[in-house]
Every structure is written in C-alpha cells, then in structure tokens.
C-alpha cells in the first residue's frame, strides 16, 4: 500500500513517514501544497494524509480539486482546526476522515488501516460525473448541467469538456488538447481547436454565468472559475 504524506511541519511529517514505513507501507513525503497536489493527482496512492494549512495550496484545496476530477483516493486530514464548522468544511470538500493535532500515534495508525480497508472493498463504483464550480458533466450520458440548464454535447465537445475539467486550473496547450482529443486519428488544423472551444463556450457560458474557459494568448486555455 502506498501513502502520500503532505505536511509543512517536517518535525511531524518525517517521524510519521518513518513510522508508516516500519508498518510496511510505501511512503512519499512532501512539504508544500503545490507539489503535494501534483503527486496526489497521479492517482498512484492508496491513501493521502494531508495537513490542512499548507504553503502553495491548502489541503482543503487539494482535496476539493481531486474530487472535482473524479479521483477517489481516500483522504485523511491532519489539522489543528477543531471546530464543528471546520470538520464539516473538510468533509464537504471530500475528506474521508479527520484527525485533530496533537493526536495519538496508535489512533492515526488505526484510522489509516480502516481507510485502506474501506478503499480495498469499495461499496459503489466510481462516479462518472465531474464537477467544477456550478458545472457538472455526466460523462457516461454526454450531458452537462449548469444551474437549471441541461446542456447536450457532441462527442468531441464532451471529450474536450472532460479534459478541461480533469485538468482544472492547469494551462493546456493547443498541442496537448489536440493529442488528447485525436489520439488515434489524423490530427486536424489548429483552427479546429479554436472552433470547438467557441462552440463549447456558447453552450456552457450563457448570459451572466461565470466564465470557465480562459484563453491564454499564444499558448492555449485554462479552465476554472478563476
């Protein structure tokens, strides 16, 4: 079983990693939210142990982004935030468990074992839906929802929107988009990407709705609410 520990307090993260390693787990450790987010999104881990407050991105940000991208890796928060509202916020972001600092090592190990058992025997299949902001994509049925609107999508529009949502916040170049959408097909001219993006914008950004597809001049596009 492979575990990722993300905590900017090395005096906590390093001993915790050593203990988990002695318990037989394969452990990677990083100390900031930016690198932690990149590692977590690889999907190569069976469990993520995240500090709430991190430089770069918070543990809450990382967890929310993973769930929006359909990544269901179990998340255990380690945090000094101990109010009921804090716990609710963490769980609503998609966390599976929550442990208040300081904590007993035996309790942490017990929670790690419980989360890994739960992930080994999932109670339901992974979701076929992606959510970013108020936009939801049903990948299986090739339909999106925004506010009270149902948005019918063509095959390529659905594929493009899925790629955008799975990489929310990331700069996607024209080449990357083309390679993703036309993996085993003859690739069209770059103008086709621009035309497809225009069509998608007209469907998912109507009236005063928040812009989601942002052009990065000369490079490509970035998808997200900000």
Give the integer Cα–Cα distance in Å for 72 and 46: 10
CA distances from 76 to 110, 115, 116, 152, 207 (A): 12, 8, 11, 37, 40
The pLDDT of residue 38? 92
Considering the domain architecture, whether residues 81 and 184 belong to the same structural domain is answered as: no
Considering the domain architecture, whether residues 213 and 151 belong to the same structural domain is answered as: yes
Query: In the predicted model, what is the mean pLDDT of residues 131-155?
Result: 87
CA nearest 3: which of 115, 95, 89, 127? Answer: 115
Identify the band that residue 212 occupies on the pLDDT scale cut at 50, 70 and 90.
Answer: very high
Q: What are phi and psi of 2, to 5 degrees?
A: -110, 130
Considering the domain architecture, whether residues 155 and 216 belong to the same structural domain is answered as: yes
Sign of CA dihedral 60, 61, 62, 65: positive
Give the integer Cα–Cα distance in Å for 144 and 130: 9
Give the integer Cα–Cα distance in Å for 174 and 101: 45
Query: 75-79 and 47-51 as β-strands: parallel, antiparallel, unpaired?
Result: parallel
Give the integer Cα–Cα distance in Å for 114 and 216: 44
**Is pLDDT above 70 for 126?**
no
Query: In the predicted model, what is the mean pLDDT of residues 116-139?
Result: 72
Considering the domain architecture, whether residues 199 and 101 belong to the same structural domain is answered as: no
Considering the domain architecture, whether residues 116 and 185 belong to the same structural domain is answered as: no
Average pLDDT, the chain: 86
Considering the domain architecture, whether residues 91 and 143 belong to the same structural domain is answered as: no
Q: How many residues does the chain have?
A: 226
Considering the domain architecture, whether residues 9 and 63 belong to the same structural domain is answered as: yes
Identify the band that residue 127 occupies on the pLDDT scale cut at 50, 70 and 90.
Answer: low
Give the integer Cα–Cα distance in Å for 86 and 108: 19
Q: Which of 97, 120, 143 is the last residue of a domain?
A: 120
CA nearest 103: which of 83, 80, 119, 85? Answer: 80
pLDDT > 70 fraction of the chain, expressed in percent and rounded: 94
The pLDDT of residue 120? 62
Residue range 23-79, pLDDT digits in tens: 999 999 999 999 999 999 887 899 999 998 899 899 888 988 888 888 888 999 888
Give the integer Cα–Cα distance in Å for 194 and 4: 38
Considering the domain architecture, whether residues 110 and 147 belong to the same structural domain is answered as: no
Total structural domains within the chain = 2
Given its phi and psi angles, is residue 83 left (phi above 0), alpha (psi -120 to 50 degrees) or beta? beta
Identify the band that residue 141 occupies on the pLDDT scale cut at 50, 70 and 90.
Answer: confident
Q: What are phi and psi of 88, to 5 degrees?
A: -65, -40
Quote the domain boundaries for residue 59.
2-120
Question: Are the beta carbons of 120 and 127 closer than 8 angstroms?
Answer: no
With vertex at residue 11, the alpha carbon angle to CA 51 and CA 61, rounded to the nearest 5 degrees, is 15
Residue range 1-28, pLDDT digits in tens: 899 999 998 988 999 999 999 999 999 9
Query: In the predicted model, what is the mean pLDDT of residues 154-162?
Result: 93
> Which tokens hold the place of 186?
């003859």
- For the question of whether the overall pTM of this predicted structure is more than 0.75, the answer is no
For residue 27, what is the enclosing H or E element?
strand 26-30
The pLDDT of residue 124? 47
Considering the domain architecture, whether residues 152 and 190 belong to the same structural domain is answered as: yes
């Amino acid at each position: 079983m492979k575990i990722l520990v993300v905590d900017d307090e090395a005096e906590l993260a390093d001993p915790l990693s050593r203990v988990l390693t002695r318990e037989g787990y394969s452990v990677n450790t990083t100390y900031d939210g930016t690198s932690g987010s990149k590692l977590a999104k690889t999907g190569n881990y069976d469990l993520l142990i995240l500090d709430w407050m991190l430089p770069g991105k918070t543990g809450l940000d990382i967890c929310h982004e993973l769930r929006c991208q359909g990544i269901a890796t179990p998340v255990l928060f380690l945090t000094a935030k101990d109010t009921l509202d804090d716990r609710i916020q963490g769980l609503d972001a998609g966390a599976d468990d929550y442990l208040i600092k300081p904590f007993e090592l035996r309790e942490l190990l017990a929670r790690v074992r419980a989360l890994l058992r739960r992930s080994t025997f999932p109670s339901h299949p992974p979701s076929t839906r992606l959510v970013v902001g108020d936009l939801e994509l049903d990948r299986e049925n090739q339909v999106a929802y925004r506010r009270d609107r149902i948005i019918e999508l063509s095959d390529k529009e659905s594929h493009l929107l899925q790629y955008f949502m799975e990489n929310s916040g990331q700069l996607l170049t024209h080449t990357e988009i083309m390679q993703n959408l036309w993996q085993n097909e003859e690739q069209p001219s770059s103008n086709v990407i621009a035309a497809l993006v225009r069509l998608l914008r007209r469907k998912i950004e109507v009236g005063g709705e928040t812009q989601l597809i942002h052009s990065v001049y000369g490079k490509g596009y970035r998808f997200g609410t900000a």
